[in-house]
Amino acid sequence: MKSTEQSKEKLVIFDTTLRDGEQSPGASMTKDEKVRIAKALEKMRVDVIEAGFAISSQGDFEAVQAIANTVTESRICSLSRAMVADIERAGEALKGANAGRIHTFIATSPIHMKHKLQMEPNEVLEQAVGAVKIARSLIDDVEFSLEDASRTEFDFMCRITEAVIDAGARTINLPDTVGYSAPGEYGAMIERLLNTVPNADKAIFSVHCHNDLGLAVANSLSAVQAGARQVECTINGLGERAGNASLEEIVMAIRTRKDLFPVATDIDAVHIVPTSRLVSSITGFPVQPNKAIVGANAFAHESGIHQDGILKFRETYEIMKAEDVGWSNNKLSLGKLSGRAAFAARLEELGIVFDGKEDFNQAFIRFKELADKKREIFDEDLQALVSDVQMGTEDDVLTVIDLEVLSKSGQAPHAKIIVKYQDQEHSSESSGDGAVDAIFNAIEKLVNSETRLQLYSVNAVTQGTDSQGEVTVRLEKDGRIINGQGADTDILLASAKAYLNALTLMRNPGRLHPQLGGV
């Protein structure tokens, strides 16, 4: 499998932002948001997009289906446990895909088999083989994962791997599910497996590492040096608990250290930063400033000595170019005088396409309103604005019609709000310990949601005091955690939007978790 870069083998980039990434507490996304992210991943030339876990909810099924029907350049994958109903649901969701993949899995470590599955190893093996056969009867491309592979007994790992390859699995994934492994050990496991399993040459070996010990990227790269040819990763390292290996770090390590890795990816790296921003604004998970590649400080040199060195000769302190990963895209986008055509063209460049004319018109109206308040409109503003419009145009959402907040020193702030729900307007008012507290209290008087506020954060979308504030509100109810977002140059209005967005999302039924036993 040769890549675009001659003489190097291709490393398949399998992005699971929309599946494992969405398992981050609070990171649930709507169907439209998932389609937008999938399009950005396609543009970046990701090989495989794991679009969801089709059986987990009707919403996930529809998202996988919509992505399968929209994306043509990347292979679209759905997760399924090693169960007939799961596999059939995945196959159904993928029917419209240009290229599809069913990813089926079962746990193989003694601890998971005994305590979670309560099954004997032979039963697990039989079920794995059966699952792969069913999946192959529906689709050509089947991936099988040995969940908790890094804690699986080596002989059993070999037996099950050989059997599922014989049954038709094309990719074998060996996850470090609990983020327990260390680079030397994990790489050695992959190498030993490749050298032991007799039919190993009939499949691509894949890795999927969690970041509980901060080693997900290091473990994945060690496995690549040992012979793995697919890495499962996510934008911004989003994912269950401490997250997954971050796509941007894997891709740029491979590209920057060509001397160390015998592989190349097909990723078009200039789309990394815009995609990172898109994922962050949709999920409400900010990127820490010192995050490698996509953090605001990743290419900022503060020390005078460094700045001096860079001015004299860039390579003294820079190992990558900021513009190669898309930082140069951080440019002035549009202004007050820009018309519909310029607006549409810029959205298209950002990979944003609206389903209907109505949504586009709404977005254009919002753009004009924003341009009246803010002289320069940047790409980040457009992304925030579009998220906001898409939230507000779906059926059955709670939207702010009017907000008035009185805040005077020495007095408790007071908020009056009008909220629209199913074409009816409802008004409410309340005081609070602060202006935001007053707004949330007023909303709660209307909805009485019985949710608990876990997090409230404001992030400036661009620089300057006229920046839009992007507010994230995290609510919890009966163990379910939901993030809501809202953006506006008025951060009080953004806060009200974020709170209502979280309440709207909270009303959607929850999803089944893939790691629930239930086999």
Q: Which residues bind Zn ion (CB under 5 A)?
A: 20
Tell me which of Zn ion, ligand KIV, none is bound by residue 326, counting a contact when its beta carbon lies within the kind-specific cut-off of 5 to 8 angstroms.
none
Task: Compute how many other C-beta atoms are within 10 angstroms of the C-beta atom of residue 130.
Answer: 16
Structure tokens at 462: 């661009």
Task: Compute how many other C-beta atoms are within 10 angstroms of the C-beta atom of residue 99.
Answer: 18
Rounded to a whole number of angstroms, the minimum distance from the CB of residue 279 to ligand KIV is 18
Q: Which of 127, 150, 177, 211 binds ligand KIV (CB under 6 A)?
A: 177
Burial of 7 (0-12, 13-18, 19+ CB in 10 A): exposed
Cα–Cα distance, 24 to 414 (Å, whole number): 35
Tell me which of Zn ion, ligand KIV, none is bound by residue 430, counting a contact when its beta carbon lies within the kind-specific cut-off of 5 to 8 angstroms.
none
Closest listed residue to residue 169, CA positions, set 194, 123, 135, 121: 135
Secondary structure of 204-221 as H, E, C letters: EEEEEEECCCCCHHHHHH
DSSP states along 240-293: STT-B-BHHHHHHHHHHTTTT-SEE----GGGHHHHHHHHHHHHT-PPPTT-TT
Rounded to a whole number of angstroms, the minimum distance from the CB of residue 189 to Zn ion is 17
Rounded to a whole number of angstroms, the minimum distance from the CB of residue 5 to ligand KIV is 28
**Per-residue x/- mask for ligand KIV, residues 455 to 494, rule CB under 6 A?**
----------------------------------------
Total residues at interface with ligand KIV (CB under 6 A)? 10
Q: Which of 21, 100, 168, 175 binds ligand KIV (CB under 6 A)?
A: 175
Structure tokens at 468: 């839009």
| Span of 125-133, 170-178, 248-256, 487-495 interacting with ligand KIV by CB under 6 A | 170-178
> Is residue 514 at the binding interface for ligand KIV, with CB under 6 A as the rule?
yes
Of residues 177 and 390, the one with the C-beta less far from ligand KIV: 177
Cα–Cα distance, 13 to 2 (Å, whole number): 14
> Is residue 143 at the binding interface for ligand KIV, with CB under 6 A as the rule?
no
> Is residue 108 at the binding interface for ligand KIV, with CB under 6 A as the rule?
no
| DSSP letter assigned to residue 510 | P
| Residue with the shortest CB distance to Zn ion | 20
Cα–Cα distance, 151 to 169 (Å, whole number): 21
Cα–Cα distance, 376 to 385 (Å, whole number): 14
Structure tokens at 239: 């994912």
Rounded to a whole number of angstroms, the minimum distance from the CB of residue 207 to ligand KIV is 10
> Is residue 147 at the binding interface for ligand KIV, with CB under 6 A as the rule?
yes
Rounded to a whole number of angstroms, the minimum distance from the CB of residue 50 to ligand KIV is 9
Rounded to a whole number of angstroms, the minimum distance from the CB of residue 105 to ligand KIV is 5
Note whether 439 and 500 are within 8 A (CB). no
> Is residue 15 at the binding interface for ligand KIV, with CB under 6 A as the rule?
no
Tell me which of Zn ion, ligand KIV, none is bound by residue 105, counting a contact when its beta carbon lies within the kind-specific cut-off of 5 to 8 angstroms.
ligand KIV
Of residues 114 and 241, the one with the C-beta less far from ligand KIV: 241
Q: What are phi and psi of 10, to 5 degrees?
A: -80, 135
Instruction: Name the amino acid, one letter, at 177.
Output: T
Give the pairing type, strands 332-335 and 376-378: antiparallel
> Is residue 156 at the binding interface for ligand KIV, with CB under 6 A as the rule?
no
| Span of 172-180, 258-266, 307-315, 324-332 interacting with ligand KIV by CB under 6 A | 172-180
**Beta strands, E only, 267-366:** 332-335
> Is residue 105 at the binding interface for ligand KIV, with CB under 6 A as the rule?
yes
Rounded to a whole number of angstroms, the minimum distance from the CB of residue 479 to Zn ion is 20
Tell me which of ligand KIV, Zn ion, none is bound by residue 514, counting a contact when its beta carbon lies within the kind-specific cut-off of 5 to 8 angstroms.
ligand KIV
> Is residue 145 at the binding interface for ligand KIV, with CB under 6 A as the rule?
yes
Q: Using CB under 6 A, which residues numbered 190 to 229 contact ligand KIV?
A: 208, 210
Give the pairing type, strands 100-107 and 75-81: parallel
Assign 372 to helix, strand or coil: helix
Rounded to a whole number of angstroms, the minimum distance from the CB of residue 148 to ligand KIV is 6
Q: Using CB under 6 A, which residues numbered 322 to 381 contact ligand KIV?
A: none
Closest listed residue to residue 474, CA positions, set 443, 503, 513: 503
Of residues 117 and 417, the one with the C-beta less far from ligand KIV: 117
Note whether 226 and 255 are within 8 A (CB). no
> Is residue 20 at the binding interface for ligand KIV, with CB under 6 A as the rule?
yes
Rounded to a whole number of angstroms, the minimum distance from the CB of residue 235 to ligand KIV is 16
Cα–Cα distance, 130 to 157 (Å, whole number): 17
Binding site for ligand KIV (CB under 6 A): 20, 105, 145, 147, 173, 175, 177, 208, 210, 514
